[in-house]
Amino acid sequence: MPRPAASPRRAPKRRQPGHLAFVFRPLRLRWYDGEVAAIEAKDIYKAFGQASVLEGVDLSVDAGQRLGLIGPAAAGKTVLLKLLAGLDRPDRGSVAVGDKDLASLSEAEIMPIRRRIGMAFQSYALFDFMTVGENVAFPLARAGELDDDTIRARASERLRQVGLAGSEDKMPSELSGGMKKRVGIARATVTEPEILIYDEPTAGLDPVTSAKIYELLAGIQAETGGAVIAVSSDVEPLIEFSDTVAMLYDGRVAYHGAADEIYDAEQALVRQFVRGDLEGPL
């Protein structure tokens, strides 16, 4: 079965690996017969009670591609990410991961697919009763494939990569917002999932820390070769990071195109949103 096509299709950008790239191990694909999955949402609808949030969303990202998702507050970005990650189900429409349509699968059948997807949540979602080390180790421990020493070593290595070496025994409550973000990223990526979903990975961070986070995300992606979907209200650095950018507006994808072309998008509302203009249809 052919992989779902991304629209629009574009050759991946050639990027110089950041200085963090050397710390990552080489490409290793375990889950998918040597091929990493693309992810595609087709005609997605989602409402909460009377409040309709998504009304016919089409969106896809190819393996090895970085998709930036933007849109006004409460546009439904987080809701869409959770649907893509298989954490919630749409009212209508389908989400395909590789050649698997999540809608046709039971909860038990979705579990192994969910493990191929790493998600770092906007609200951290760290377990506050676990140490930082245990939080990062959790996805590996749950997978049950490695012994405890290996799991601890992998978690510590990931913590070092996100700049938090030696914080294994801290509790999440002892950390700043930026540190919690980085723990969330470490936990989301520790199993080297082939699809990485980041919800507001740089919210509340200063521009330098934010730039370091994007460099980290790029390094991790270089390692896994997977697809990345990132949501951010820091529109400029997200566009810089992304291959394609989609804008969610009024329940639908108002724009999906090459990242470097979005500032000249045809739709005035898209141009206004990414440029932060006061004048315009928004």
**Minimum CB distance to ligand ADP, residue 37 (Å):** 23
Buried/exposed code over 209-229 (b: 16+ C-beta within 10 A; e: otherwise): bbbbbbbbbbbbbbbbebbbb
Write the burial class of residue 187 (CB in 10 Å: 0-12 exposed, 13-18 middle, 19+ buried): buried
Give the span between the Cα atoms of 13 and 10, in whole angstroms. Answer: 9
Residues 44, 65, 70, 77: which binds ligand ADP (CB under 6 A)?
77
In the bound state, the residue with its beta carbon closest to Mg ion is 78
**Minimum CB distance to ligand ADP, residue 250 (Å):** 12
Residue 53 binds to ligand ADP (criterion: CB under 6 A): yes
Region of 74-82, 159-167, 175-183, 208-216 interacting with ligand ADP (CB under 6 A): 74-82
The alpha carbon of residue 48 and the mean position of all alpha carbons in its chain are separated, in whole angstroms, by 23
**Minimum CB distance to ligand ADP, residue 84 (Å):** 12
Q: Pick what 75 binds: Mg ion, ligand ADP, none; C-beta below 5 to 8 Å, kind-dependent.
A: ligand ADP
**Minimum CB distance to Mg ion, residue 224 (Å):** 24
Q: How many residues bind ligand ADP (CB under 6 A)?
A: 10
**Minimum CB distance to ligand ADP, residue 87 (Å):** 11
Laid out side by side, the sheet with 39-48 consists of 51-61, 39-48, 92-97, 100-101
The site for Mg ion (CB under 5 A) is made up of 77-78, 122
Among 112, 64, 66, 68, CA closest to 86: 112
For residues 263 and 257, is the Cβ–Cβ distance under 8 A? no
Give the span between the Cα atoms of 200 and 234, in whole angstroms. Answer: 8
Nearer to ligand ADP, 137 or 270 (CB): 270
Binding footprint of ligand ADP on the chain (CB under 6 A) = 48, 53, 71, 73-79
